[in-house]
Amino acid sequence: MPADRRRERHEALVALFDAEGAALDALLVTSRPNIRYLTGFSGSAGVAVATRADLLLVTDFRYAEQAQAEAGAVARVEIEGASVWDRLFKELPTLGALTTVGYEAHAVTVKDAERFSAGAAGKAWRWKPAGELVERLRARKDPAEIAAIRAAATLAGEALRATIVAVRPGQTELEIAGLLEGALRRFGSEGHPFPAIVASGPRSALPHAQTSRRTVAAGEWLLIDFGAVVDGYCADITRTVVVGARATDAQRALYDLVAGAQRRAREGVRAGMPGREADALARDPIGARGFGDAFGHSTGHGLGLEVHEAPRLARTATEPLPLDAVVTIEPGVYLPGRGGVRIEDDVHLSVDGPVLLSDGHTDLVELV
């Protein structure tokens, strides 16, 4: 059974309370992925407070048993039948003398921020935006997290292979997405981290196309971008295939360019490398062939409890990539009116170099 790292995560968070002049006594955590990371609670409603000594989780009646089972070993769980926020403000004084309470400004709505002054009336609490403290910890994955992402990537690959054999010209993008999403569930995915993107023909030139009723014709590109979830952790994979015919010379040349750039990046990326240098591993060969303007998004992003999280592999990313981060490598070239190619795999940045977590099956597939 994997080691329970939640107490270590709490201690690491507390160590950040004094970092960079934050000087916090506590952190109010409202981001659902951050609550899960610290407590294990996977419900859809609740707030948590981490102090230097304690961890409090407040949720509602629907999650009474679940919260205790998932978080009770590391957090004090309080169940509220009416307002979770009212209960939070009643419980805060029990956590000791708190002066400066940080909050996740990136995750708090204006309405919820207004509760601070109302709920703190007559109290000595001072509310302070704290930045993305928990996200900084989440960027570096422990062995259990890496294993969960690998398991999600493995079943995603199995689901895609089961789907691809059933793809034929004349099917709609929505039909193919339905086959894939059903296979993901059958192979064990807890959910879909995002709706599968299935884009065919000229629509494959839309990097984040919405799956449509368009019918796939023979000889066209079919771009499939999808994910899976295991133990709350996401995989994110993209494959581009040719349906119902052999690839033309032009299609093969474009595919080989993207595949080569993707392989160069996934084999060359390293922990400690600035995000923009990792991005350049894929971008430079594409630009050298004259397609730089057709690759408009970043090369990759972090992967974990969210399908998009820190770090970033982008032209503007100057921060070094953390050791034990898990990132996507997903270059693409998109030609309006003609179609596009994107290839994506998931990579662990280990102390020994990049380790592929997804299957890496990136040879061009022709569904004939």
Over residues 216-264, the pLDDT tens digits come to 999 999 999 999 999 999 999 999 999 999 999 999 999 999 999 999 9
Residue 12 lies in a domain: yes
Query: Tens of pLDDT along 100-154?
Result: 999 999 998 888 888 887 766 657 788 999 989 999 999 999 999 999 999 999 9
Single out the residue in 138, 165, 182 at which a domain terminates. Answer: 138
Q: Are residues 115 and 177 in the same domain?
A: no
CATH number for the domain spanning 230: value is 3.90.230.10
Q: Which of 112, 138, 164 is the last residue of a domain?
A: 138
- Statement to judge: residues 76 and 189 lie in one domain: no
Note whether 147 and 130 are same-domain residues: no
Let me know whether 108 and 169 are in one domain.
no
Q: What is the pTM of this model?
A: 0.95
Helix (H, G, I), strand (E, B) or coil at 267: helix
Classify residue 226: in a domain, yes or no. Answer: yes
Residues contacting 205, CB < 8 A, separation 6+ = 334, 335, 336, 337, 338, 339, 340
Low-confidence ranges of the chain (pLDDT < 50): none
CA-atom Rg of the chain in angstroms:
23
Of 113, 138, 163, which marks where a domain is finished?
Answer: 138
The verdict on 222 and 322 lying in the same domain is: yes
3 state SS for 48-97: EEEECCCEEEEEEHHHHHHHHHHHCCCCEEEEECCCHHHHHHHHHHHHCC
In this predicted structure, what is the pLDDT of residue 13?
A: 96
End-to-end CA distance of the chain: 45
CA distance 346 to 358: 5
Range of the domain at 211: 143-367
Same domain, 153 and 277: yes
- With a CB cutoff of 8 Å and minimum separation 6, the contacts of 238 are 197, 223, 224, 225, 226, 330, 332, 342, 343, 344
Q: 114 and 183 share a domain? A: no
Q: Report d(CA 15, CA 11) in Å as an integer.
A: 6
Does one domain contain both 157 and 269? yes
* The pLDDT value given to residue 64: 95
Distance between CA 198 and CA 138 in Å, rounded?
30
Q: How far apart are CA 352 and CA 225, in angstroms?
A: 29
The answer to whether residue 128 sits within a structural domain is: yes
pLDDT at site 120 = 64
Q: Are residues 176 and 122 in the same domain?
A: no
Indicate the number of domains in the chain. Answer: 2
Residue 296 within any structural domain of the chain:
yes
d(CA 164, CA 152): 18
Residue 23 lies in a domain: yes
What is the pLDDT, as a whole number, of residue 308? 97
CB atoms under 10 Å from CB of 15, counted, come to 12
Separation of alpha carbons 333 and 250, rounded Å: 13
